[in-house]
Structure 1
């Protein structure tokens, strides 16, 4: 019997937007994943608090963003755990929950470049293969070669959508239609997120 292939897709999702969805679907299809598990962090270790919406809002928006997709699911594991969210802690817990599953960590190429700064990167690659989505026209010269042999690359379209830009547009009262799924857009307006 084949092992369940689970892609762990972590992030602040502040807010989740259409580029997140497209990347997750491309990775799921190319890597033949049974499930993409979206994991909103409680607090990201490499970022300052800044404009981070409360964890329960980011969890709710992520649930709205993936609604109806049969191979996407959301976990509140990191939010329930609290504190700074470290991937190695999450992997340890997930492998207890999915002892027969194969967990693959979904990363952007930018995260691969800083992967050596993560907490316990050597243990991460012992526990999970890395699925890295490439940006067209980029090189890997500055990636730590220790980790490249543990990477499977997938192609993802270049989409100039960023959560930073979406938050800025919200502050300026500009439209975010077609940048986030409609249920997420309504949630942002209803809860007056990113207004100040």
Structure 2
């Protein structure tokens, strides 16, 4: 099975994440999308994250009605901080019959060469890249790489940071969240 791995802290998961994940499931050759909840991204401050199980639960609630989407806590079991190459190595050992690809925004592709063992990742895995609006107009030579697929997905400019701040400011941001996630955040009194 060809599986797309969509990594994120999902703090919280929002409709933009769902639009991208569903689009990849429906409009690419990926058969299933696993939303991999990352416990700690080496490029993000850990203090701003909700506990792992809360972020996992929100992703689970958000995607439970999507047949081609699944949530993974695989990185919770791996050494921290999480590096994609370690996760891919573990997944290949655990699921030798699956073929794993990465899903990332165009902005992440520009910094991909800085990732740990990025050359090995690209040698063994395909990348599915969705467009982003970025201020940095720097082109990357990777766009023409045979293992990189630029997917004509909707451009979604919603950020979890914006949502967290909106909640702190007492704004109604329910249109940016699926109903189960908005409810979970509300009953748990998160981000206030």
TM-score over 0.5 (shorter chain)? yes
Relative to structure 1, the CA distance from residue 98 to residue 115 in structure 2 (aligned partners, 3 Å threshold; closer, same or farther) is same
Distance 2:79 2:176 in 1: 29
Cα offsets for 1:39-80 (capped at 9, x unmatched)? 010100111224211111111111111011111111111123
Shift of the alpha carbon at 1:127?
2.3
Aligned to 1:157: 154
Contact 1:135 1:155 survives alignment (8 Å):
no
Contact 2:142 2:148 survives alignment (8 Å):
no
Aligned to 2:85: 88
CA RMSD of aligned residues (A): 2.0
Contact 1:116 1:144 survives alignment (8 Å):
no
Distance 1:17 1:67 in 2: 14
Aligned to 2:126: 129
Aligned to 1:37: 34
Q: Does 1:56 align with 2:53?
A: yes
Shift of the alpha carbon at 1:141?
4.3
Aligned to 2:176: 179
Contact 1:40 1:75 survives alignment (8 Å):
yes
Relative to structure 1, the CA distance from residue 181 to residue 119 in structure 2 (aligned partners, 3 Å threshold; closer, same or farther) is same
Alignment of 1:106-145 (within 5 A): 106-135=103-132, 141-145=138-142
Deviates further, 140-149 or 21-30: 140-149
Aligned to 2:191: 194
Contact 2:25 2:69 survives alignment (8 Å):
no
Distance 2:110 2:10 in 1: 20
Contact 2:31 2:68 survives alignment (8 Å):
yes
Distance 2:39 2:134 in 1: 33
Cα offsets for 1:116-141 (capped at 9, x unmatched)? 11111011112210000123799974
Distance 1:137 1:182 in 2: 29
Where structure 2 has 5 or more consecutive residues not aligned to the other structure, the ranges are none
